[in-house]
Amino acid sequence: MVIGIDFDDTCVNTWQILEEKYKKDYPEVIIKDHENSPWDKEKIIMRKHMAEIVWQVNIYDGLKEFLNYCKDHHIKTILLTARGGEIQEIIEPTKEFIRKNNLAFDEMVFGLDKKGEACQKYGVDLMIDDSRRVLDDVAQYGIKTLRFGVKDDKHDYVLSWCDALLYIMKGD
Ligand SMILES: [Mg+2]
């Protein structure tokens, strides 16, 4: 079995950190919904604060245990992230963050804008992501989807990594 895992807001709380940053330093940037945030403005802020933001995020509880369980049970995990698509300088620090925090992914792919295609290419059986838009795309390829952190009436969902672990234990 191969599991694809998104990074921002699935492994770490990037949005919460960005939102706090905006409120504090960029009150003119008004964002109602982070899936539709003003990326043109965000890009400028991200570029400027990239180095700190990479290290400020918190890893969601239970992720390490989930990845370790996968490793012990010969389930392959691939990080599939859009991060680094436009701001390529963020890739190396992100890899370092992942390595220093012992997140045991078997493979990592950055800069993806079409995750459905990527899931097919890498033989993913289950994709875990917080974004409904991404999962809608992945599902079109006949790949199973699991939405992270948000209740969903279309995709299976879990609200924590502990639940995600139970979900895959039930399935294997
Ligand atoms: Mg995400």
Please name which of 74, 63, 75 lies closest in space to residue 2, comparing C-alpha atoms: 75
Domains of the chain, first to last: 2-12+60-171 (3.40.50.1000), 14-56 (no CATH)
Euclidean distance between CA atoms 140 and 116, whole angstroms: 7
Question: For the segment 93-146, what is each residue's pLDDT rounded down to a tens digit?
Answer: 999 999 999 999 999 999 999 999 999 999 999 999 999 999 999 999 999 999
Q: Give residue-wise pLDDT tens across range 53-103.
A: 899 999 999 999 999 999 999 999 999 999 998 889 999 999 999 999 999
Average pLDDT taken over every residue of the chain: 92
CA 64 to centroid of ligand 1, rounded, Å: 17
* Phi-psi category of residue 158: left, alpha or beta, with phi > 0 → left and psi -120 to 50 → alpha: beta
Residue 8 alpha carbon to ligand 1 centre in Å? 4
Ligand 1 center to 69 CA (angstroms): 22
* This prediction's pTM: 0.93
At 33 the pLDDT is: 66
Give the pLDDT of residue 32.
65
Residue 116 Cα to ligand 1 midpoint, Å, equals 14
Please list the residues that pair with 145 across neighbouring strands: 127
